[in-house]
Amino acid sequence: MTDLNKPDLLEWLREQRPARLAELYARGNAVRKQNVGDAVHLRGLIEISSYCVRQCMYCGLRQANRALPRYRMTREEILDCARQAERLGYGTVVMQAGEDDELSADWIAEIVRWIKRETTLAVTLSLGERSRDKFKRWRLAGADRYLLRFETSDRNLYRMIHPQRRSGSPDRLMLLRQLKSLGYEAGGGVMVGIPGQSYESLADDLLAFRALDLDMIGIGPFIPHQDTPLGSGALRPAIPPVDQVPASEEMVYKMIALARILCPTANIPSTTALATINRTSGRRLGLMAGANVVMPNLTPTKYRRLYEIYPEKACIEESAIDCSQCLRGQIHSLGRFAGEGQGGRGTIETLTNVLPDATSRPVQLQALR
């Protein structure tokens, strides 16, 4: 199953039979175990600003959404979150925001330098499409990784759902290559079930993950937001119904398993969007299909509700400590353990490295449903 070509991928993406799907998830999970071990890495997410100058047709943070009150965290608030990440035993902080032009390159660089000087954390940035010069300055300040999902490899659909900035917008696939050339670990990814997204384009997305040799791959369901053109139905890309990919959790598990098989050593999160569409077991099922990362929220509770990329987001009421305890509980319930250290690509941690007499307890996927 390792050498999957496009027809194979299409067949798996359209597969419906439960026994065959169980086989796929088991394969994704086995490849995960063999290549990145049983550690689940915790990346503390800090949503530093909800301002955005872009108009992505699916996202609640798009500039045209006037219904959403905006916030921008202060430097001290961000540093407090980083200190808390270290206290909670996380190895990484992810600083994420809309494309907020008020976040100056120097301000970001100064915060990255502080975190790298004062803590042992890896720093991931997810600040949208930026110039090579900014990427370089942040890399020189010590940033380790950059997340920039390309959302879909279908160029027509991509253009339809990403109106350009007035100054023009670079191609995200090109930016991912640029980030890699600057020495970042680069993370791409897609939403699953975007209106207008075909099975064929999803197979191409998987092949793009491999061709780009991504270090991190984020896959989550598209969740409609009423205050956006794609969520309200005002924008309906034309596609025959049989070709339209559903925004279902099953499609996301298939994508996680296939991404794991194609990119065995990548870091793959079980996303908050997945936990949003299945609150009881979405995260755990993602971890059982091939994922090895979770992203507990560190954003101060007063801001969380305002970072509304989609409605009813999971984990917006809990404190950072609650999130940490809840996720650790879920990880242990799978017979896995929280990773130590920064957990960059290529680290294999096994429970026996951490606790020499420990054995990992197998858990049946079916038991979680």
* Residue type, position 290, single letter: G
Phi, psi at residue 349, to the nearest 5°?
A: -115, 135
Nearest approach, Cβ of 66 to ligand SF4 (angstroms)? 14
The site string for ligand SAM over 97-116 (x = CB under 6 A, - otherwise) reads -xx-----------------
Query: Is 59 one of the binding residues for ligand SAM (CB under 6 A)?
Result: yes
DSSP 249-273: HHHHHHHHHHHHHHSTTSB-B--HH
Residue 204 is classified by DSSP as H
Nearest approach, Cβ of 65 to ligand SAM (angstroms)? 11
DSSP 86-131: HHTT-SEEEEEE---TTS-HHHHHHHHHHHHHH---EEEEE--S--
Query: Is 298 one of the binding residues for ligand SAM (CB under 6 A)?
Result: no
Query: Is 48 one of the binding residues for ligand SAM (CB under 6 A)?
Result: no
- Give the one residue of 59, 95, 121, 259 binding ligand SF4; rule: CB under 6 A: 59
- Give the one residue of 24, 36, 191, 289 binding ligand SAM; rule: CB under 6 A: 191
Nearest approach, Cβ of 78 to ligand SF4 (angstroms)? 17
Query: Is 130 one of the binding residues for ligand SF4 (CB under 6 A)?
Result: no
- Give the one residue of 47, 99, 205, 215 binding ligand SF4; rule: CB under 6 A: 99
- Cα 134 to chain centroid distance, Å, stands at 22
Residue 12 touches which of ligand SF4, ligand SAM, none (Cβ within 5-8 Å per kind): none
- Give the one residue of 90, 135, 209, 310 binding ligand SAM; rule: CB under 6 A: 310
Name the residue among 181, 182, 198 with its Cα closest to residue 190. Answer: 198
Query: Is 313 one of the binding residues for ligand SF4 (CB under 6 A)?
Result: no
Q: Which residues contact 297 (CB under 8 A, 6 or more apart)?
A: 44, 45, 47, 272, 304, 315, 316, 318, 320, 323
Residue 214 touches which of ligand SAM, ligand SF4, none (Cβ within 5-8 Å per kind): none
Separation CA 204–CA 206 (nearest Å): 5
Q: Say how many residues touch ligand SF4, by CB under 6 A.
A: 9
Query: Is 58 one of the binding residues for ligand SAM (CB under 6 A)?
Result: yes
Query: Using CB under 6 A as the criterion, which residues of the chain lie in contact with ligand SAM when the complex forms?
Result: 58-59, 61, 96, 98-99, 126, 128, 148-149, 151, 191, 220, 222-223, 225, 273, 309-310
